[in-house]
Amino acid sequence: MVTATARTRLCLALAAAPLCLLPSCSLIADLGELVRPDADAAEPEVDDGNGGDDGDATPDAEDADGRDAADADAADPDVGDGEDGGGICGNGVQEPGEECELGDAPIPCVTTCGTPGIRRCIECAWGACETADPEVCNDLDDDCDGFTDEDFPCRRGRSSPCTTACGSTGQLLCSTDCTLPASCPPPDETCNGADDDCDTVTDEGYDCPAGATAPCTTTCGTTGSGTCTSACETPPVTACAPPDETCNGADDDCDGFTDEDLWGPAPVPVRITNSPAASERPSLAWNPTNRQFGLVWQEETGTNGGHIYFTLLDADGAEALASDVELAAASGSVTHQHPAVVWSAAPGLSQWGVVWSRNESPSSSEIYFRWVGADGRSSGSETRVTNASGTSTEPTLAWNAANREYGIAWSDARDANREIYFVRLTPAGTKPSGHDDQRISTTSACISSRPWVARGTDWGVVWCEICPGGDMGQIYFTRMDDTGVQIPGSMTIPIAHAAVQEWPRVAWSGTGWGLAWVDDREREVMQVYFGRLTAAGTLESAALPLTTSATTPVGLEPTNPVPAIGWDETRREYLVVWSDTRNGTESCGGADCGAELYFARLDETGRKIGTERRITTAAGRAWRPALANRGDAWGLAWADERDGNFEIYFTTLACR
């Protein structure tokens, strides 16, 4: 029998032998059992005579060094014999108590940093979870060193900033194999005033690229320009710069005025008269139906006037008649002067009304009326309006369409002192039944002259009074009702100032009166002033000098400083024209310019719109302006000396 001790000795001997190829000691033990069956229990020990105590005929086997198995057992007490329940690690068999056998494949596990790892079989037990090495491209910290994909150019799925070909900042996206693209891809376009996506266009896709100039709406509602905001939004109203003013009837530049400093005369004025005699004192009116101007003037034959003429002009001033119509002819001592014309329209009526003064002698003159057909070819006969002693002169007229009547005011000396009178006339030029001349002024110590009448809700009459001494003039205003009677308490002195005030002119605005006059409050320098009156005739705002340039008053033409004023209902503004001498010594065609015409526009509150503008630029004097509004522009006629004697000229004033 081969005992456990013998088997152990045999295993150790074979392990020491270099040619031992048996797989394990347990196999050797098994072979020993096959070679020699166990007979220990059947055969008693037999003394071999050599003192041995096992009774074997053959002596006990000994180690190569002469020690027997018992000695070996005693010397190696830790060598197991396999019979106490423990296995032999490495024998190729996973025995009880072993987790694995040497050479088993590693098993997967989760590392302490949460990544996949492996466990190896060490001494037939699974060792600790080992991290992967090297790092794998998987956006994980495989080796638990606190870094992810650190062995690669980039971290999988992550991006990093880069500079594009156009200088913008793009993003490089790490691919699934932890490599970077060859070039920096541009980003999507954003609102930043730059070309982000490298297509040479800035902030495309936005309504207003940041920093760009774009149209916007101004505070007054016009279209201006501004800088797009950093959020690519249209410039706000407060940051929208208004455009330059243009001729469009709107306040483009948001200064509260319309078309300022863009109005002016036609490039070339139209010469109307061509007579060796002086043509003076034009008066102008507009027929909106036929779009024609009616023009009257006096042609001098002596010191107190001459003939009265009438003509029609188209909208630009070209004469519409083959020849001028003579309304009143001078003969001997009889002359005519101070003509005035008004367009008269009512249901069933279309005509021009003309008045003038007829001089019978230096001490006797009367007011006459004549109607002229709309075509200028037909007319009524001369109708005498006044019939009193003394002189009746300086007539002016207006039309009341509702009552189909004219209102006429003039200066009259029938009371031994010159006073202002008023009368109503029918379209035929006769006085309504029961109505006669009405005296308006009552200052018997002063001379009342230079009247002007206009139609509002009633008749408005303005004039000036020169008192003894000649150094004081005062403007008066009153109203006449539809029956031609002065409204009680309506007389006012709107301009209370210790200065010579004369040549007043008024225009009705629909709610009040615009008053222009000549004033010498600057002493020795006559100026044109403007004031806004209430419907009752009281001054609403301070008098505004129209002819003051900077701080220097501008002198008016001393002989005929007469201003003209009109109201533009479409634009709701006034226009005032006058003659002044600011260019008197300038050269106009080789001679002194003399007195030239200027105009100013004023809004309905009386504010000046822009600056005054020059109308005439020729040598000699230009004076006695007459205005008529044609709706889209003004017609202007005046007496002009550029041709050596006074002729009537015409132009239009419009936005140009």
pLDDT tens digits along 462-481: 999 887 765 567 899 999 99
Q: What does the alpha-carbon distance between residue 182 and residue 159 come to, in Å, rounded to a whole number?
A: 14
CA distances from 54 to 4, 44, 46, 57 (A): 17, 8, 7, 9
What's phi and psi for 607, nearest 5 deg? Answer: -80, 140
**pLDDT at residue number 344:** 98
Q: For residue 9, what is the enclosing H or E element?
A: helix 4-16
Under 8 Å between Cβ of 490 and 537: yes
| DSSP, residue by residue, 66-80 | S-BHHHHHHH-TT--
3-state secondary structure (DSSP) of residue 71: helix
**What is the H or E stretch that residue 624 is in?**
strand 622-629
CA 224 – CA 243 distance, rounded (Å): 5
Looking up tokens 């017609």 gives 635
Q: Residue 27: which H helix or E strand, with range?
A: helix 25-35
Which residue from 558, 544, 512, 561 is spatially nearest to 612, judged by alpha carbons? 544
Question: Strand order in 608-614's β-sheet?
Answer: 564-568, 573-580, 596-603, 608-614
Q: Which residues contact 291 (CB under 8 A, 6 or more apart)?
A: 314, 315, 630
Number of CB atoms found within 10 A of residue 146's CB: 8
The ranges of the chain with pLDDT < 70 are 1-87, 132-133, 302-304, 444, 469-472, 498, 523-524, 548-555, 557-558, 589-592
Q: Tally the C-alpha atoms within 13 A of residue 263's C-alpha that lie toward its C-beta.
A: 27
Three-state DSSP state, 31: helix
Provide the whole-model pTM: 0.71
Q: How far is CA 72 from CA 6, 13, 416, in A?
A: 9, 11, 178
CB 422 within 8 A of CB 440: yes
> For position 203, what pLDDT does the model report?
86
Tokens, residue 498: 């210790």
Contact 549, 555 (CB under 8 A): no
Which distant-in-sequence residues (6+ apart) come within 8 Å of 428 by Cβ?
Answer: 371, 380, 383
Chain center to CA of 564: 37
Residue 316 Cα distances to 292, 494, 635, angstroms? 9, 37, 8
Residue extents of the structural domains in the chain: 4-75, 189-243
Sort strands 305-313 and 263-265 into parallel, antiparallel or unpaired.
unpaired
CA–CA distance, 51 with 439 (Å, rounded to integer) = 189
Percent of the chain that is helix, strand, coil (3-state, to 5)? 5, 40, 55
Residue reference for tokens 């982000």:
196
Distance CA 497, CA 495 (A): 6
Report the alpha-carbon distance of residue 599 to residue 546 in Å, rounded: 9
Query: Is the link from the previous residue into 347 a cis peptide, with omega within 30 of 0?
Result: no
- Residue 436: which region, alpha, beta or left (left: phi > 0; alpha: psi -120 to 50)? beta
User: What is the spatial distance between Cα 336 and Cα 187, in angstroms, rounded to a whole number?
Assistant: 90
Rounded to an integer, what distance in angstroms lies between the CA atom of residue 632 and that of residue 634? 7
- In contact, 504 and 462? CB cutoff 8 Å: yes
Predicted pLDDT of residue 274: 93
Strand partners, 421: 410, 439
